[in-house]
Chain A
Amino acid sequence: MHAETTENTGRKAAALAVFKDLARDPGVPKPDPILVVDNVVRRFGGLTAVEVNHVEIQRGSITALIGPNGAGKTTFFNQLTGFDTADSGSWTFNGRSMNGVPAHKVARAGMVRTFQLTKALSRLTVLENMRLGAQQQKGENFWQALLPSLWRGQEAEITERAEDLLARFKLDAKRDDFAGALSGGQRKLLEMARALMVQPELVMLDEPMAGVNPALTQSLLGHVKDLREQGMTVLFVEHDMDMVRDISDWVIVMAQGAVIAEGPPSTIMSDERVIDAYLGAHHDAPLSEGELEAQLQEAEAALEAEISESEGSGATAPEPASETASETAGPEPEPATATEEEKQK
């Protein structure tokens, strides 16, 4: 037990040490990438959903992929895992070219994903869901399926492995229930456990925390960290910045289809480009010349207010300052930015 914990911290430390001296530029090369992506482009009609020039995922780390809504994160996931065909580009997994490889072969190669909208196989039991994840099953061949003696032994091994995993994810009491009868959070757990049945090298989680209650979030976080301790690489999409900060070793930020920044989770949110991507999004609405002017004045007024607030001696100064602010710009844009900031915090 003790040895295990030291090894655990070792894995995290190793991952962090790798990232320590890396540049913060998009597409920065990593020392030991498991996944290398070049020039992946996906267009839907006139809309360019994904246009990633270069990105590398470090082996044995937990990498978060974040970005505002519509940044193309899930589409990018779909390209990499073969669920959608990229218009152009190439990517390698463990040095093996993966573009144009169908989804099931991507999974067999060791790159397994989960889905944003959980895909539990409702009318199969929890245990059957798990067994399905195992690879190279003899009984999945039509002719061999007819002779149970050929696959019984392997099935027993698979069942044992499935039960171990279910116990780890605290789903063992549910093993004979239909997966459709599980709660949303339990389905997320089941989906992650099922993905592990494939014995992947790279686990790609698409919003693993969406719709999960806070109590379960903690245990899910623990499971994700556990994956790294077992030597797997994790790439996940997430909106919850607390979670990203808690478990990831490295963060990649996407906006409007492109990777705009990379960096460690502690500092990434103070990066200029990231703030622009998140907070600037709401100022993208078409502005007329006059509106632009008004916004500028509002910002200046707010700045002046702040200055006079800190310099002014208490009671007298704040009053006129707040008046000018509300007169020049009106109350609307300012609270909007404030709430956005709060959300990010």
Chain B
Amino acid sequence: MASEALGWWGIPLAILAGTLRGSAPFLFVSLGECLTEKSGKINLGLEGTLLMGAMSAYAVSYLTGSPWLGVIVAGIAGMFLGVIHGWLSQQPRVNDVAVGIAMIIFGSGLAFFLGKPFIQPSAPQLPVISLGAWSQMPQVQSALQISPLFLAGVAIAPLMQWFFRSSRWGLLVRAVGDSPDAARAMGISIFKVRMASIVAGSFLAGIGGASLSLFYPGSWSERISSGQGLMAVALVIFARWSPVQCLYASLLFGGAQAIGPALQSVGIDAYYYLFNASPYILTLIIMIVTCSPKRTLTGAPGALGQAQE
């Protein structure tokens, strides 16, 4: 028998590989949501945006043969949904959470409707960057096949951190999110800043969808996201609205997805429902650890979730 079987080493390797493969959608959606929430609005509809992005990327890649064009169209489709959310949620006395839930239903319904003809065909996938050539082991080589979108996401996180901390536009976004009155007194259009933040955030979420359908798992179906968009929105809260922490949290969630299957593949097959639920359990634990009734969350934008007059 060849030296193929990895045994117990398979678990950390699978988690590492799962992290590199599966965290890009979390990363893009959470960065998009981070930007949106920094401006003081919540966009729960990113689950719908993710599905719309996945569908349009797959469809365009299939129809034109160019996966990169698919990625761009996914972003544009996300922006389209973002404009709707940005406009609706800023109407007087409109609750952005309620609009977000409507946008989940709208985005996913639209994606399912338009995506019907693309369930069967196989679309060209994004190229992979192989970083595992140094290893003789096919498992390691396969684990280190990295999506260019993932690398882009990893680069965007510190850039966005810098954007918030050191750039004038970042300051505007933070001002609008923390103290809209002060921002208005400065002569800034709150509507425009929030609209821009929501649209840019939705663009990123759409790209996250492209990563689902064009890299991993690499197929379009109605169950492709399985709630990843919503988890990524929750993830922003315990990443404390910090883009770099969004990156760490996304890596953690991508890895957690791989735990259940990896354990079963080496023969630990008890409690697999529990292990499969690990991303959700992780969410709960982190929420419990980080939340306290005595203080508000540090880092939360001041005007987040407040009704608009």
Q: Is B a genuine binding partner of A?
A: no
